[in-house]
Structure 1
């Protein structure tokens, strides 16, 4: 059972089929970052409000919330967000990185040229990545813990590309399996490990597009990874996929959840739901009914969405405001464990199963709404839904630190638990990984003006404080 809040005085068989797209798009390319980050469509233009709202700096005092960050991190974040918030500089920097990563010359090799390696390591790599191996990743994790983070979401940068011409199912599955087992070994109990089912390779991607089951080889690898996570009490976060693979994504995930999300560990396997899709609330409601019927704890990671630039437009809400309303409405229903629009019951007299929730968001308005609900529940002595917040390492620190500041003032179970998502691997692996993620989520890379403003204010505060002003 979820923990019951202390008094105010002490402080997803019933599977709903996802709509399938008819067009094929390979998510990962053999040329990382090849897609332009400056392409704009009418629907993307309608989402400009998303940029403005989610990048707005918190109105509370940054002098207390950002003071926990090392000066080197504040400076690095200010530098990188100054580049990423400019479309011209962002496109130029990605083009340069792409050329460096595809170069065969020693002079421009990111691993062999010490000057280039040092420059990239002290900027992009340190900003977004945990390290190259277990010791360096553990050191980064310890630093995040010192700042106040509850844990990390670890992702392995080496991926099997779905459009690889020399694809071999056996080799692809083994790369995926071994990488995840290493990542689980790095993680601490209670941490999360990110993964993609499509990362099993080209054969897996084709099966997902056909709404087919994983092959026996894939299924065996998936279960081995889930078993390792279950043994260590590490949680797995299958990342969102495109609409044309969502039906299989949810089937594969529910299958693993039914097997491993039982007992006191709660949700070992989570599933990801994208609020910018019109079908999300309906799909989630059916999955909640399935979890209740089969008796497993449903782990839910809620995101706004990562494929705005590639999905067919009729799948997506018409405006940023509609996406915000859908996200916040679903989040509120989950936290209160009550069906309410947009998350309505899929069957008559539907009951909520045991759930664990992760709100993965860089939107300060969303985190504040969620925290307001939690405070209300605490004051009323209501049962609390296990909740975690997540942001990417190197991004939205002003949102994360506001939650951390709130957590420092609460000693009880209702304190916010904040996680940072980070990547481990070599310099080349990690930079390629970051470029692929940027190509998938074209609008998010530029949604950093709020972070730049917050870091600029923090630098100014520290400068004045150093001279006694």
Structure 2
């Protein structure tokens, strides 16, 4: 437990930020902390983009540059290498959302394949990522998950979704790049889970390449994890899981209420925290069969994982345990963990400014809804500004 002041070290946390960047971060988190302002800002930004007003430059120099690596892979290289110098790896995340045509799905697959090839050449990028709905229509996942039969046209379309997953996981295996597959809304997740499990069965035969995502605000995920574990042991493949708390809570609760079924979401934040920690413990107890990527901005959960690793004699840099945070957030966790030799990866969103805006807006809204997150960021930034003044 002796490490429990580790994340207070602001000198390590903000070592890559210039005074100007620190000022910008301070300004942004201050804005985000005023909730109605986020709503106004979101509306204004959306309007400006739709009306083609010249906001791109403004967005680029503020929100975008703080939370995104750049507009293209090459554009991200500078920050990727600078972070890697400090021991923090990068997961390039092409954050263009809401496209629903076959061309877009193929383009997203090509982009992911390109990132895997790109990552294979760079020690700084051991992991790639994609979203299920980046590779196929939400409706198809939902219909399949509900056990309804496809029309022949839908079946052909679904076969293409499967082929996209397979192409990406196959290349990832060849290049030894781990691939994280994000989780989305519960009513499409069953089909995505089955598909990702098929990929694990096929490609996680000697080392863990394919990772699914468990959103632990869902109260059924522990049972899912245990069942998957039993099956993997029986069939002789390994599992990889990124565990996160979850990103679609309001949507989930609203839909459950609207359609009159019990919400899949834990009844409280505390229940979610307990569930999240239980999943981490379970995986750490079974590291020989399950690899773990802890996607969290929660300091207590991070300390807990560190304590268990120490207890079990798991080396800080054991490849079966990774910590992950989003670029532009929780640098106090990322850089201080990396400083002690833990495996840490930042999710680095990138893409054309206007295409990435929906993602950024969701992040800002999420930040306002996570109690204490923005306040903690602000406090640490202020503390670092003070420290630099006294130098």
Distance 1:270 1:428 in 2: 29
Give the SS at the match of 1:311. helix
Provide the residue aligned with 1:86 in structure 2: 34
Superposition CA RMSD, Å: 2.8
Q: Distance in 2 between matches of 1:331 and 1:236?
A: 19
Cα distance in 2 between the residues matched to 1:364 and 1:97:
32
Partner of 2:78: 139
Which runs of 5 or more residues in structure 2 are unaligned? 149-154, 254-261
What's the counterpart of residue 296 of structure 2?
361
Asked if residue 210 in structure 1 is aligned to residue 153 in structure 2, the reply is no
Deviations 1:411-469 (A, max 9, x none): xxxx311110011211212223322555688724983111111111111111111xxxx
Equivalent position SS for 2:209: coil
TM-score (norm 1): 0.72
- Residues 12-57 of structure 1: per-residue CA shift (max 9 Å, x gap): xxxxxxxxxxxxxxxxxxxxxxxxxxxxxxxxxxxxxxxxxxxxx9
> 1:161 corresponds to which residue?
99
3-state secondary structure, aligned to 2:214:
strand
* Cα distance between partner residues in 2 of 1:420 and 1:314: 31
Which residue of 2 is the match for residue 333 of structure 1?
A: 282
Indicate how the Cα distance of structure 1 residues 288 and 194 shifts in structure 2: closer, same or farther if over 3 A, else same. Answer: same
Of 330, 338, 347, which aligns to 1:396?
330
- Structure (1 or 2) with the larger CA radius of gyration: 1
- Cα deviations across residues 358-385 of structure 1 (Å, max 9, x unaligned)? 0000000111111111122229x99x78
Higher relative contact order (CA 8 A, sep 6+): 1
Cα pair distance change 1:358/1:243, threshold 3 Å: same
1:183 counterpart residue number: 115
Q: Distance in 2 between matches of 1:322 and 1:132?
A: 38
1:278 aligns with 2:201: no
| Alpha-carbon separation, structure 2, partners of 1:308 and 1:58 | 31
| Length-normalised TM-score, structure 2 | 0.85
1:386 to 320, 328, 342: 320
Q: CA deviation at 1:294?
A: 1.7
Residue segments in structure 1 that go unaligned for 5+ positions in a row: 1-56, 112-116, 163-167, 338-351, 408-414
User: How far 1:404 sits from its partner (Å)?
Assistant: 2.6
CA contact (8 A) 1:196 1:238 kept: yes
Separation of aligned partners in 1, 2:140 and 2:126: 26
Alignment of 1:193-342 (within 5 A): 193-202=128-137, 204-211=140-147, 215-263=158-206, 266-312=207-253, 314-337=263-286
| Post-superposition offset of 1:96 | 1.9
Q: What is the CA distance between 1:386 and its match in structure 2?
A: 1.6
Runs of 4+ in 1 over 6 A off after TM superposition: 439-442
User: Residues of 2 paired with 1:453 and 1:328: CA distance?
Assistant: 26
CA contact (8 A) 1:173 1:217 kept: no
How has the CA–CA distance of structure 1 residues 437 and 70 changed in structure 2, closer, same or farther, with 3 Å as cutoff?
A: closer
Relative to 1, partners in 2 of residues 1:109 and 1:353: Cα closer, same or farther, differing over 3 Å? same
Q: Which residue of 1 aligns with 2:256?
A: none
Comparing 175-184 and 303-312, the one that deviates more: 175-184
Alignment of 1:409-428 (within 5 A): 415-428=341-354
